[in-house]
Amino acid sequence: MSTAAHAATVQPKRRGLELALLILAWGLGVLGTLQVAWSTGEGVHPRFWITASVVGAIALTTHLIVRWRVPYADPFILPIATLLTILGLTMIYRLDVAAAQRAERNDNPVTTPDVYDQLTWYAFAATLFILVLIALRDHRVLQRYTYTAGLIGVVLLLLPLAPIIGATVNGATLWVRIGGLTFQPAEAAKIFLTIFFAGYLVVTRDSLALVRTKFLGIGFPRARDLGPILIVWAVSLGVLIFERDLGTSLLFFGLFVAMLYIATQRISWLVLGFLLFAIGSVGAYLLFGHVRTRVQVWLDPFAYADTGGYQIVQSLYGFSNGGLFGTGLGRGYPDLVPFANTDFIAAGLGEELGLTGVFAVLLLYAVLIERGLRIAVTVRDPFGQLLAAGLSITFAIQVFVILGGVTRLIPLTGLTTPFLSYGGSSLVANWIIIAILLVISHRARRPAALPLSADTAPTQVMKR
C-alpha cells in the first residue's frame, strides 16, 4: 500500500535528458565557434579546444551538483540557461574576431578579446550557482529575511548614486566601481527585491485582495492599501530620474505589479499599475530630454540615422541583412552596431542566424519562463509560489524590454539580454536565479513523505 502510494507520487527525474541536452548545447557552442573561425578566415585558435573543454567542464560540474543536491528539480532549466550562455559566448567570440579584424584593417591597436572575461564570469556564476544549491536546502528560509532582503535591494539600487564608488557609464549611473572592478548592483538587487516582494505579499495579500471599494464596475483597493504600490512606483521613478536608467526602472515596477496581480488575482492592480506607468512615462517624457530622445528615435529612427538613431538603424539593417536563415556565423557585419555584445547582442544573432535562429532563441526563453511559472504552480507554499513566479517574470520582462527595443517594437531601453549579453553582473545574477528556481522545483517535485495533496504532484495540465 505504502509503496503503491509512493510510486504514485514519484516523478521521473529526467536527469539523463538534462545531460543529453547539455551535451547538445556544448556541441552547438563548438560548432558555432568553428564556423566563426572558418568563415572569417581567422582559423581555429590554438587555445580553442582548451576553452571548449573548460566550458564543457563547467556545464558538467553544474549538472553533477544538480544530480547531487536537487535530483528532482526541473530538467529543462539548466540546459536552457547553459545553451543561452554558450550562445552568448559564441557570439561574443564572433564580435571579438570582427573587432580584431577591423582594427587590423585600419591599423589600429590590437583589441583585447572579451570572450575570456565572459568565460571567467561564467565560471564565477557557476560557482555561485553551486554554492546556492549547497547552502540553500529549503527556499522557505529566505522568507525569514523578507525585510532584510528589501533593505539590501534598495541599498543596492541606490548604490550607484553614492559619491565615490558610483560611476556613470554611457549616460546611465548604474555602475559601482570598487578597485578595478565594476558591477551593476541593480542586477543583484532584482533577486533581493523579488524575495522581498514575495515575502511581503504573502503576508499582506489578503488585505490587498479582499478589502475594496467599487468604482466603474471594478473593485479598487482602499487608499491606505495603495501605499506599497506607490512606494515602489516612486522608487522606480527615482531610479529613472537620478540614475537615468529606463530599463531597470521598468523592470522593477513591472515585476512588482505582476507579483501583486499573481498574489491577489485582482485585475484592478494591473489597471492601477498601468495607470501609474502611464502617468510616469508621460511625466518622464515631458520632463527629461533623454526620454524624449528615445521616444522620438523609436517613432522615426531613420530621421536620426546619423545621431541618436544610429544604433537602432544599424540593428534593423542587421536583422534585414540576416533574413530568414541568416548570413551564417562569421559572415555578417554584427559589429557595426555600437554595443553589439551587450544590449544589441540579439541584433547580431538576428543577422547571422536569421529569423529562424532568433525564433529558436525566443522559444528557449519562452520554455525557460514557462518552466519557472510551472514551478510556481506546482510548489505548495505561497512564498515559494510567488518567489518562483517573480523570478521567472524578471526574465520575461527583461527579454521583452530588450528584444522589443532592439527590434523597435517599443522604445529602446538598456537592459541585458539574460545569459546572452556580455557582462558579469547580469550573468552571475541570472545564474543565481536559476539556482533558486531549481531549489524550489526540487522541493515541489520530490515525492512527499505523505502522498497528500494534488499540489505536490509534478507538472500537470491545469484545468480552470
Partner 1 sequence: MTEFALTLLRLAFLGALWLFVIITVVALRRDLLQPREARPASNRPVKPAKPAKPPKPPKAKKSDRVGPSLVIVDGPLTNTVIPLGTAQITIGRAPDSTIVIDDDYASSRHARIYPSDGGWIVEDLGSTNGTWIERTRITQPTALTPGTPLRVGRTTLQLRK
Residue carrying the nine cell digits 484592478:
268
The answer to whether the beta carbons of residues 13 and 71 sit under 8 Å apart is yes
Stated length of the chain: 464
**Residue 273 Cβ, how far from partner 1 at the closest point, in Å?**
26
Residue with smaller CB distance to partner 1, 223 or 461: 461
The answer to whether the beta carbons of residues 157 and 150 sit under 8 Å apart is no
Residues in contact with partner 1, counted by CB under 8 A, come to a total of 56
By the rule CB under 8 A, 360 interacts with partner 1? yes
Q: Residues 53-92: x/- map of binding to partner 1 (CB under 8 A)? A: ----------------------xx--xx--x---------
Residue with smaller CB distance to partner 1, 106 or 453: 453
User: Exactly one of 328, 333, 377, 407 binds partner 1 (CB under 8 A); which one?
Assistant: 328
By the rule CB under 8 A, 459 interacts with partner 1? yes
* Terminal Cα-to-Cα distance of the chain (whole angstroms): 32
**Residue 368 Cβ, how far from partner 1 at the closest point, in Å?**
10
User: Exactly one of 106, 213, 307, 453 binds partner 1 (CB under 8 A); which one?
Assistant: 453
By the rule CB under 8 A, 44 interacts with partner 1? no
Helix axes 77-105, 48-69, angle to 10 degrees: 160
By the rule CB under 8 A, 380 interacts with partner 1? yes
Element (H, E) at 168: strand 166-169
Q: Looking at this protein, which amino acid is placed at residue 392? A: S
Cell of 200: 511581503
Q: 15: phi > 0 → left, psi -120 to 50 → alpha, else beta; which?
A: alpha
By the rule CB under 8 A, 1 interacts with partner 1? yes
Which of 32-40, 146-154, 396-404, 415-423 is the region at the interface with partner 1 (rule: CB under 8 A)? Answer: 32-40
By the rule CB under 8 A, 25 interacts with partner 1? yes
Residue with smaller CB distance to partner 1, 24 or 151: 24
By the rule CB under 8 A, 454 interacts with partner 1? yes
**Residue 305 Cβ, how far from partner 1 at the closest point, in Å?**
29
Residue with smaller CB distance to partner 1, 17 or 409: 17
User: Exactly one of 13, 177, 212, 331 binds partner 1 (CB under 8 A); which one?
Assistant: 331
Give the whole-angstrom CA distance, residue 408 versus residue 305. Answer: 14
User: Exactly one of 108, 265, 320, 356 binds partner 1 (CB under 8 A); which one?
Assistant: 356
Residue with smaller CB distance to partner 1, 3 or 106: 3
By the rule CB under 8 A, 346 interacts with partner 1? no
Cell of 214: 467599487
**Residue 360 Cβ, how far from partner 1 at the closest point, in Å?**
5
By the rule CB under 8 A, 461 interacts with partner 1? yes
Residue with smaller CB distance to partner 1, 320 or 356: 356
The alpha helices in 145-226, defined as continuous H runs, are 146-158, 185-210
* Contact residues: partner 1, CB under 8 A: 1-2, 4-5, 7-8, 10-12, 14, 17, 20-21, 24-25, 27-28, 31-32, 34-35, 38-39, 75-76, 79-80, 83, 325-326, 328-329, 331, 353-354, 356-357, 360, 363-364, 367, 370, 380-382, 450-455, 457-461
